[in-house]
Amino acid sequence: MKRMLFVFSAVAVLVSGSATAQPLTGTLKKIQDSGKIVMGVRDSSSPLSYTLGGGKYAGFHVELCEKAIDNIKRQLKLPKLEVQYMAVTSQNRIPLTENGTVDIECGSTTNNAARQKQVAFAVTTYITEVRTAVKANSGISSIAQLKGRTVATTTGTTSVQHLRKHERSKGIDFKEIYGKDHADSFLLLESGRAEAFVMDDNILAGLIATAKTPSDFKIVGEVLSVEPIAIMMRKDDAALKKAVDDTIRAMVKSSEFEKLYNKWFLSPIPPRNTSVNLPMGATLKAALANLNDKPMEEYNK
């Protein structure tokens, strides 16, 4: 009997070992073979992802991704893992992720049903409301007051589409003007070439906080859309998604996630050491209590 138990135990160990030692595939294999991971970042999506100059990037999503990469490094037992930061734009972030140029995109990308057909998203880590930034002395406080005015947004984003679809925009005719990135769009507002800038509230708040005179601007008007923002990866790469999701789940459970949120949304941040002052909203709190990768459409029913 003891001999039989020993044999069964040995078989169990072998089966267990073979189950846990599955050969790596996809992005994790690419990372192991190259000793490098390419992180897609944004130049002007503060406080989620933005440049500090000199090839350095910072932000809430940048730091979240760095935590996930540390875990991947430990999982793969790599003595060293090079992180290459690659600036992406609203137009090229999805193609560069799809074709393998970028391994993990850590910017300000909305998770929606159309994009889920092309790429995968980690569990939601930020929920934004699309609203409008204007000059404080403009007198604009609602969608109705945009009639006949020039409205800026960023090429490759969905913000103006939300404005046009909003029920209160019926019969409101405005002119669209596009910036190549969020900083360029804000410059259109700042210089007077546009009278409003429609975008995610966190991006608007970040740009206003780093403006020469933040008090010259304010965020106004109706909420045009509620959008879950998440880290983006290639589709059908379950092992990488699990590694990222597991990192986020552990951080939420340990309260490290909340501390990181407070660092980037409620405290002074570089380079100007000003705060965007955006407390965590009820919708994000609910999403963190039940972590998921549901698309935007689920939030706007």
pLDDT tens per residue, the chain (301 residues)?
444 444 444 444 433 443 345 688 899 999 999 999 999 999 999 999 999 999 999 999 999 999 999 999 999 999 999 999 999 999 999 999 999 999 999 999 999 999 999 999 999 999 999 999 999 999 999 999 999 999 999 998 878 778 888 867 778 889 999 999 999 999 999 999 999 999 999 999 999 998 999 999 999 988 888 999 999 999 999 999 999 999 999 999 999 999 999 999 999 999 989 999 999 988 999 999 999 999 999 988 7
Distance between CA atoms of 42 and 301, rounded to whole angstroms? 30
Per-domain residue ranges for the chain?
25-125+230-299, 129-226
Q: Say yes or no: do domains 25-125+230-299 and 129-226 share a fold.
A: yes
pLDDT in tens, 18-54: 334 568 889 999 999 999 999 999 999 999 999 999 9
The CA-based angle 126-127-128, given to 5 degrees, is 120
* CATH class of residue range 129-226: alpha beta
Report the CATH number of the 25-125+230-299 domain: 3.40.190.10
